[in-house]
Every structure is written in C-alpha cells, then in structure tokens.
Amino acid sequence: MTRSRSWFATIRGWARALLTRSAVEDDLSEEISFHLEMETEKYRRTGLAPEAARRAARIALGSVDGTREGHRDARGTRVLEDAIADTRYAARWLRRTPSFTVSAVLTLALGIGANVAIFSVVDAIILRPLPYPRPEQLLSLGSGSAGEFLALRERLRGFSQLGAYATQTHPIDDGRQALRIEGAAITTSVLSLLGVSPQLGRGFIEEDGIAGNNAVLLISDGLWKRQFGATPDVVGRGVLLEGVPHTIIGVMPPDFHFPSRTIEYWQPGVFNTADLGATWAIGDKSLVGRIAPGVTVEQAQRQVREVWPTLRKANPLWDPGESYRREVAPKPLQAEVIGASGRVVWLLFGCVLLVLLIGCVNVANLLLARATAREREFAVRAALGGGRGRLVRQLVTESLLISAIGSVLGVAIALLALRWLINAMPTDVPRAHEISVNGTVLAFTTLLTVITGVLFGVIPALRATTAVSGTTSMSSVGGGRRATHGIAHHRVSGALVAAEMALAVLLVIGATLLARSFSALRRVDPGFHPEQVIAARVSPPGASYNDPGRTSALYLAVLERMAGLPGVQRVSAVDKLPLAQSVWGISPRIQGQFEDATHSLPTIGHYQQVTPGYFATLDIPLKQGRVFTDADGADSPPVTVVTESVARRFWPSGGAIGHRVGYPWKSPWLTIVGVVADTKQDSLRDTVGASMYVPWQQRTRMSGNEMWVLARTSGDPVAIAAQIRAIVREVDRTVPVSDVRTMGAVLSASVQRARFTVMLVGAFAFAALLLGAIGIYGVMSYLVGQRTREMGIRLALGAPLGGVTRLVVGKAATLAAAGAVVGVVAAIFATRLLGSMLYEVSATDPLTFVLVPTALIGVALAASAVPARRATRVDPVRALRAE
Amino acid sequence: MPNDAPSDVLQGTLDMLILKTIDLEPMHGWGIAQRIQQMSRNALDVGQGSIYPALLRLENRGWVESDWATTENNRRAKYYRLTALGARQLRREADSWRKYSRAVELILAS
C-alpha cells in the first residue's frame, strides 16, 4: 500500500515533469526569485542599502544553473529530457544546413524506401505463414497419381488428413458469357485439411466426391464479384462447366487462393478407380497432408520417404522399377508455395541492403566532413563541461533524426514503388496479392531506421569527439588549424569510400552477369519465327464437343474463316503452344530398339498434335521427308514428324524416315514421314530439342479439346485479334477464346521472370554506382577543400599543376582500386548464389570480372576529376591567407 | 529511479531535516532553509542549490505535498506540507538517525 502510493507519486512526478516541463521549470524560477527576494529582504533588515543587499543576496544564492540541473536530476527524467533537448538541437542544426540535410535524407529515403518495398515482398511471400490455421502442420508430399494418393491415404499414419488437387482450366458458361478460367479439382478433404470454409454457402462434404454428386462448384471471391456482381443468391445458381450443368454451392473468402492466385473455382475431384489407366498412369495430382498432432514434421517426412517407395508393388499396371519414388522430398506447404520465387526475392533483398549500405557510407562521409567543420563547436561544448559520452549521444541523436526523417519519406516511396512493383511482377509469383506495408514491415522499418542511424552516425561521432578529448581542444577553440589536420579523418573517409566501391563493384558485377544472361536468352533462336504470328486459345466445352468429328469441324470452320481475313497468309492449330505452357513429353516405343512397354522407355521431351499448316505458320524448317497434309486423316495410316534431335538420337547414321515409333500403350505404329528443325518448347532455356508431332486428325484424347489457333499475317497481327474472337463467337457462342497474343508477346512473357530480375537488380546496381560516384566526389572535394593550403604551398613552391592533379586523382585511384579488389573477391563468392538464374554466362565470367571493376575505377576517376581541377586553380596567396 | 537510488548520508540527512522542519507547519523553501539554519544555530547552512532539488525529490516520493499560497506579506510562495507517508518516514529516519548517532558517540567517547 505504502509502496504503491509512493510509486504513484513518483510516476505522477515524472509525468508532470515531462508533460508540463515548462510549467515545472517556471515553478522553480518563481520559487527561486521568491527565495532571492526573501534573501534580499533579510540583508536589508541587517541595514544594508537596497543595492548592496541585492548583491549580497545574489552572492549568497550561488549558481542558479546548478540548482536547475539538480532539480532536473531530481525529476528522474533526465535521460528523456536530454533526448528531447538533443532532438530539438539536432532539428535546429539540420534546418541550418539544408543542403546537407536534403542530400542525407534523400539518400536514406531512397535506400530505406527500396528496402521497405522489397521487405514487404519478402514478408508476404516468404516470412508470413500461410493464411491457414496451424500452417506448420501442412506438408506438401509432391505429385503422384490418384492410385498413389489412395494407397498413401491408407498407409500414412502420421497424417490426420491427406488431400489431392490438380489445377485445370475449363470453359465456364453462365448463360451470358463463355469464359475460360482456371480452377482446381480438389478432394473433398482439402478444404477441411486447410481449415478454410466458404464465406457464403457451404463447403464440400464427402458425398460431393462421389461420381454423380460432383456437379457442384465453389467459386472465388474475385469471380463472384466480377461475374456475378457479388450477389448472395449466387448460391444455388447453375453454370455450364465444360458444357455440363453444375451448381454453385458457395463462395470462398477473399484471401483464399489455393493452390495459386489464378485459381477461380474449385470442383470436387472424383476418382474413377475402375479405370486403372486413369488412376495409375496420370501423375498429375499434387498431394498435401496435415500432420497428426504429436507428430513432428521430420517424422512425417521420414514416413513419406519410407512408405511411398513401397507402393511399387501396389501398381497394378506395370513395375515402375527399382528407383520408384526414391527421390520423394516432402516439404512444408509453405516452401512448396514459395517455389522458385524465393531465390529471386532474397537476391533482390540482398541487393537493396547493399544499396542502403552504400547510402549509409555516403551519409557517414558527409557527417565526417561536417564533424570537422564543427570541431570548434565540440571543443567549446567540451570546455563548458559536456562529456564525450554526452557529445556522442548528441551526434547519434542527429543521425537518428536524419534516418527517422529518411524512413518516413522512405515508407512513402515504398508505398508508391510497391504499386508499380506488384504490377510489374511475373504473374506466377505466389501470394503477390498479400504484399502490403503492414505491422511487420513497419517494425522492420523502425529497426532499419535505428540500425542505419547508428551505422552511419557512430563512426563519425566517435571520430569527431576524439579530438575533443585530446590536446587539440584549446587550439580548436581558438580556431587555429594545422596543416596536418584531420589525417585520421581522411583515413576513415578513405576506408569508407573503398568499402563503398567494393559494394558497388559487387552489385554491378552481379547485375552485369544477369544482364548478359538475359541478353543471351533473348538472342536464343526459338527454332521458329515468332514475328507476325498471332495465337488464340480456343476451348470447346467437353460435353458438347465429345465427338472428335464435331471438334474437328469447329476448328476447320474457324481456321477457314481466319484464312479469309485480310493479310492472313497461313493458319494452323496446335494443342500446346510452345513457350506459353508446358508441353508434355512422351515415352514412345521405338521399333527395333524399345519395343517392350514393360521396360523403361526413352523419353522424348515434347509431344504435340498439330494441323498440317503448323510448320509453315511458325516457319519451322523441314529437314527431310514431308510435313503433314490434309490426307493424313483419322482413317489413313498413322504418321509422325520428329525433330532432328530425335532423328540423331535414335538413328545416328541418318535415315529416320520410314522408321516406326509408337505410344507406350498397345496401339498401331506411327511411321516417321518427316524430320523438322528443333524448337524451344517449355522455355528458351530448353536444351531438350526433342519433339514428336502427330497430325491433329490422328490425335489421341490425351490433351482434351483445347487448341491454339495461329495465323501468320503480312501486316500487324494484332489487327486481327478482335476478328479471331468474333469468328469463334460466330461459329459457336459457347466456345470461349482466351489469351489472344502475338507470338512475340508469348516469347517475351516466357522470360518475364528473368526480365523482372534483371530490371530490378540493374536499377539497384545503377543506384549503387551513382551513390559510389557521389561518395568519391564528395570525399575528394572535401579533401581538396581541406588541403587548400597545402596545395597553395605546393603551387607556390613551383610544383607543376599536373603534380597536384595527380595527387588528387592518384588518391582516388588508390581508394577505388582497393575497393574494386575487395569487391571482385566478394563477387567471386557471391555470384555463385545466382546459380540457375544465369544463362550461358559463367558465375565468374572473366570479361565481366575485368570490365566492371575497370569501368567503376574509371567512374571513380571521373568523379575525382572535378575536385582535382579545382585543386589546380588554388590561388597560392589566397590559400595561405585563408588561415 | 529515485525510489531505488541509494541516498548518501548527507542527502538522507537533509531529507530528514526538511521533513522535520515542516512537521510543525507548512512552509516555503526559503523558510525551510532559514529554519534549519536557525534551529542548528547556524551550524548547518542549506543553500537553495540543494533545498529545491531535495523538495522535488521528496514530493516525487509522496512524502510532501506542495501548493502555491500567499505569505503573511502578501507574496506568492510555494508551501510544502508533510503527508501521512512523510510523517511515517520522518519517524523512521529519526529513529535510525538517533541509533546511528548514539553508536558513533559511543565509539568516539571510548
């Protein structure tokens, strides 16, 4: 009780001291003046004259400042009040030196802004747990077939639930508009496993997963708002999916994007276990599980690795071999979601940290220069009793104030930059919609503010105040200067500039390697001519196009009308468009070489079904034999065209024509009638080159009805985009057209990740280069300014002008070269991390490692040339008088 | 933190003397200084440099309260008054001071 009351008084005292600081000070002043009057009166009563009494009273009173200090100490808020006073002083000082303040604040604002923006990305994509309850229990098992999923569900005891999903795209028709949208077929367990329920309607129940009951859909919040006007009565509404009536049973919450953010509907996945082929042969399901309580992630992973290979015996169709599922690597669902984006994000984060570091070095250098100019101020303050600790604290407060202002501006910059960044991001970046400047990001910003403030503030503060504690104080107070002045300062500045150079060299080397990779990638010959070709995806709904004849008629009608459009030279269709989507491979039997399907078959990277005009449309050169013709119909002998890689691999002595290959299952042989040039299929980095083409009239049902129609035009292909849409709509209103793009756009979209990376890293490297040049310029200017007298003397004693220039430029060259060496060594280690991001460029590409440092040293010399010229213009007389 | 800071002997003594002085009646800072001087027969001279910080410290501990009031000569002055807490503290400090001074006296006398 006593204790709490006295605590209360203490806290009230602090609060009053802080909140009503001036009132407390006024109180004290009034008390002291009252004291003085009473004292004066006392002396007057002893018979002194008023003036004398006043004097005596003042003498008796002693130092009022001491009282004030004691009073402040007694308030117990000394540290805080000092901080407030320091901040005020710092603010005043910053206002007085606007050019310094503006350059320091802007440098930091840009550096911090870039960091805040990129950290928001790191936070959303990598750090933030997935938006599901207990996300750490979610494990991605990898991909497998429905049969494997069902068998694993029986055997994996360490999981409370197991689910499977596969993404798909289907035409959806709500009666007004036919759309092709991406969705996922998920086992009914997936939603409960993730712990998510719809915002409207109901989720899937087990019965939905039974064939016949599964004509139900959940739709995304985005689709609901866009297509259904966010009306609540969407639940129960019917839509046509692949032409089949489905009922919408619910709307998922806005933040539900599983398995990726392009997914707009979910359908119960149904396994037809009677069809062994479909169950076991198609490994397109992704498996996900929730680990049972009490089981660790490691235990669950080990269980998967042990159990899955034992399913080799469970396969009723074939023996998948000794190596079956030896390589399964179950990993946390979060890691699966992050995927390949993690590397790029960390790379960008590393780059912005380096840029900020360079910014800090620049500001530190500015502060060092300022500190020398303020030496006299520090000496005076030290003489008046300001301790070194107190001075350092004052200086660090100044740096913290600079970094705080920089941070506030930086957050504003980050908010602007993020808007642009999210749009410029490759579309496959996961969780991009979650990127925001939130509490975590602001906490990071605060941390960054303090760290940068201390980073660039402490060294200059310590440097600036050593002089104070040394013997130079008196001469400093007197304003005297010595020629040797600030040698230690120069050493620190020089080291900082060299460090800055090293960081810039590191960053520019990395950026150059990425840029060289990117330009190598852009120079890759895809094997076809994308110019003046436009493509559009046509997706006939399965229910109304279940007859191959009808599907063929649709495409024939569309292609015929497209051929009639003005400027169109050639038209064709292909089931999988190169560089737009992954083109499946195939494991064929090869007559005379691999005939027995129970043994492991070779793999041909890509398998495409094309109309006869495909090769001509894309300008893929024919090397031997013939391409397909309209005569290669459904009932004519099966034929195929292979690429040169395939021909070389299986018939190295030439003469692939006439040989026969076959599908892995029991089916008639296909005769090779032609050999065409290799093309890039999955990406420009493709090294496979092996493709097998079959005429579309002889197609298997493997890839459904969807095809891309292509047209080569004599003019601008974009001109006919709208007409292609119109043609398909005229032929059949229920068939959606999507992704109408030129092949040039397809090509450039296929390198969007590389472009995005190289663009950002390049921008950061340029910033680093610029800051580095500014740093060298600043330090050299300062050095020349400081040594004006020395230069003057040298010139007066007859030193040649060239000598003085050499002195300045030589100094810059030494610093830059030292930094460049360190940067190159660091780059040798760091660029290895770029790994797979590089293309046809070694991580230690000699050209880059020589040219970049050389160029940067050149920039450094150029930056020092201006101050060097200034040095030669020093007027000896004025220089000597300046002291 | 004023509560936890160990107060040196002199400061502790001054606190006690102030508490004792205003035990009889509320008093302003100058008055307290004069009273201590008088009562100690000029042996102790408490300057304003130590009295005002001390008063603030005591107030923060909840041992005294202050208020602006008018003196007999019609002048504004800040008057300090002992709180119940302060009275208890005064008794405690006085007791321990007596014990201490007796002990020191015994040693010096031997």
Min Cα distance A393 → chain B (Å) is: 21
Strands A533-538 and A285-291: unpaired
* The pLDDT value given to residue B10: 61
Inter-chain touch A67–B53, beta carbons under 8 Å: yes
A687: confidence class by pLDDT, cuts 50, 70, 90: confident
Torsions phi, psi for B81 (to 5 deg): -130, 145
Phi, psi of A356 (to 5 degrees): -65, -40
CB A879 within 8 A of CB A791: yes
Residue A610: pLDDT band (50, 70, 90) is very high
Residues of B in contact with A32 (CB under 8 A): 48, 52
Tokens of A24: 């407390």
Tell which residue, A9, A583, A597, A71, has the closest CA to residue A318. A597
Hey, are the CB atoms on A34 and B54 less than 8 Å from each other?
no
The encoded tokens of residue B102 equal 């007796």
CB contacts of B54 in chain A (<8 Å) are 74
| pLDDT for residue A662 | 86
Q: How confident is the model at residue A482 (pLDDT cuts 50, 70, 90)?
A: very low
Q: Give yes or no for residue A51 having a pLDDT over 80.
A: yes
Instruction: Please name every residue paired with B78 in a beta bridge, in sequence order, or none if there are none.
Output: B68
A interface test, pick of B60, B70, B91 with most A CB neighbours within 10 Å? B60
- pLDDT at position A37 is 86
Average pLDDT over residues A425-453: 88
pLDDT for B7 beyond 50:
no
**Selected residue with higher pLDDT from A1 and A409:** A409
In order of A115, A130, A415, A431, the CA distances from A434 in angstroms are: 17, 10, 14, 5
Please give the pLDDT value at position A879. 66
How far is Cα B46 from Cα A185, in angstroms, rounded to an integer?
89
- At A668 the three-state DSSP class reads coil
Instruction: Quote the percentage of chain B above a pLDDT of 70.
Output: 89
What pLDDT is stored for residue A592 in this prediction?
81
Put simply, whether B14 touches A (Cβ < 8 Å) is no
Inter-chain touch A6–B61, beta carbons under 8 Å? yes
Q: Tell me the C-alpha distance between A743 and A739, whole Å.
A: 11
**B62/A27 touch (CB, cutoff 8 Å), yes or no:** no
User: If you average pLDDT over every residue of chain A, what do you get?
Assistant: 86
At A496, list the tokens: 């900082």
Rounded to an integer, the average pLDDT of B73-94 is 89
Decide if pLDDT at A478 tops 70.
Answer: no
Distance from CA of A34 to the nearest CA of B (A): 7
B53 contacts A13? CB cut-off 8 A: no
Label residue A339 left, alpha or beta by phi (over 0 means left) and psi (-120 to 50 means alpha): left
**What pLDDT score does A168 carry?**
85
Judged against a pLDDT cut of 50, whether residue A481 lies above it is answered with no
Residues 6+ apart with CB under 8 A from A877: A792, A796
Which backbone phi and psi does A569 adopt, to 5 degrees? -100, -45
Of A30, A35, A75, the CB nearest to B56: A75
Average pLDDT of span A570-575:
94
* Interval A568-575 mean pLDDT: 94
Compare CB distances from A10 to B2, B30, B76 and report the shortest one's residue: B2
Pairing assessment for the beta strands A639-643 and A670-676 based on DSSP bridges: parallel
Per-residue HEC secondary structure of A318-375 comes to CCCCCCCCCCCCCEEHHHHHHCCHHHHHHHHHHHHHHHHHHHHHHHHHHHHHHHHHCH
Confidence class for position A479, pLDDT limits 50, 70, 90 = very low
List C-alpha distances in Å: A826 to A833, A859, B15. Answer: 12, 20, 64
- Name the band, by pLDDT with cuts 50, 70 and 90, for residue A599: low
pLDDT at B3: 40
Region A135-145 average pLDDT: 91
Dist. CA B81–CA B64, nearest whole Å: 5
A333-388 pLDDT tens trace: 999 888 888 888 999 999 999 999 999 988 888 888 777 777 777 777 777 766 77
Residue of A nearest to B11 (CA): A74
Specify the pLDDT at position A3: 56
Chain A residues contacting B via beta carbons under 8 Å: 2, 5-10, 12-14, 27-28, 30-32, 34-35, 37-39, 42, 60-64, 66-67, 70-71, 73-76
- Of A343 and A807, the one with more pLDDT: A343
